[in-house]
Amino acid sequence: MKISVVMPVHNEEEYLRYSLPVFRVLKDIDEFVFVLDRCIDDSEKLVRTVFPEAKIYIKTDSKWRNKCAESFQYGFNRATGDIIWAVGADIIPDLQIPQIIKEEFSKDPMLGTLCFRYYDYDIFSFKRRIHGFYNNLYKNLVQHIRKEARHTGFYAFRKQMMLEIGGLEDLPSEYDWFARKVKASKWHYKYIPYTKTLHLRPGLSRFKQYNQGKARFHLPQYNLLKTILHSFVHFKPYLIVGYLHERARSRMRSP
């Protein structure tokens, strides 16, 4: 079983200084694929210094509205592993994940996607770090109750499955749609709740909240009431703003 790591990078220099040294010491990874997407900082220099043997692709333009999803799919299409592990440049991975991937995908030949628990930890903002601690505690509680909490965008998948059901699409919250396709297919989907990965850039900024709200409008499992409740529980006021703006745009585009 060959494992490929795919990491899109868009001006991620400040996070790569923390994440790349940890990815460097991971065992059982056969291939690293980096997609340098319109970078104008020192991201490329850092990647080439730490991973001189990696597959590095320079992407200078975008055709999709969801540029992050496009970069991930660009990397997926060029990875040669049987299993593709999708990671962000702002991730400090749990070192046991490659072994978990090997064990879980070997144990179940129909396992299509494996997603992992992570913890929010903002390294640049103390205020958002405290907010992240609250979110982590909340998720510890609800993941035992609600299926939706056993679902993250930090995942690995079988390439054969992607070829059968299709990859990511140019949609807001592309991973949610990808997971829906997996669950509607013959392939299995599993969540690992005990991994201790750190997410250094949690979606707590105004910009992130706003985009999350826009994405939720397009997901059938969310409505305005659920979005409002989530916004209040997680102290994310701009989530509602993004949802309402996207709803208004959608109505303007409708005939």
Domain ranges of the chain: 3-204, 207-253
Q: 54-98: per-residue pLDDT in tens?
A: 999 999 999 998 899 999 999 999 999 999 999 999 999 999 999
Q: What is the CATH number of domain 3-204?
A: 3.90.550.10
> According to the model, what pLDDT value does residue 8 have?
97
* Mode of pairing for the β-strands spanning 188-199 and 55-59: unpaired
User: Higher pLDDT residue, 177 or 206?
Assistant: 177
Q: 52-61: per-residue pLDDT in tens?
A: 999 999 999 9
pTM value surpassing 0.85: no
> According to the model, what pLDDT value does residue 147 have?
59
Query: Which of 117-131, 181-195, 206-220 shows the lowest mean pLDDT across its residues?
Result: 206-220
Are the beta carbons of 217 and 211 closer than 8 angstroms?
A: no
> According to the model, what pLDDT value does residue 215 have?
72
Kind and range of the H or E run holding 74: helix 67-78
> According to the model, what pLDDT value does residue 31 have?
98
Label each residue of 184-225 as H, E or C. HCCCEEEEEEEEEEEECCCCCCHHHHHHHHHHHHCCCCCCHH
> According to the model, what pLDDT value does residue 150 have?
64
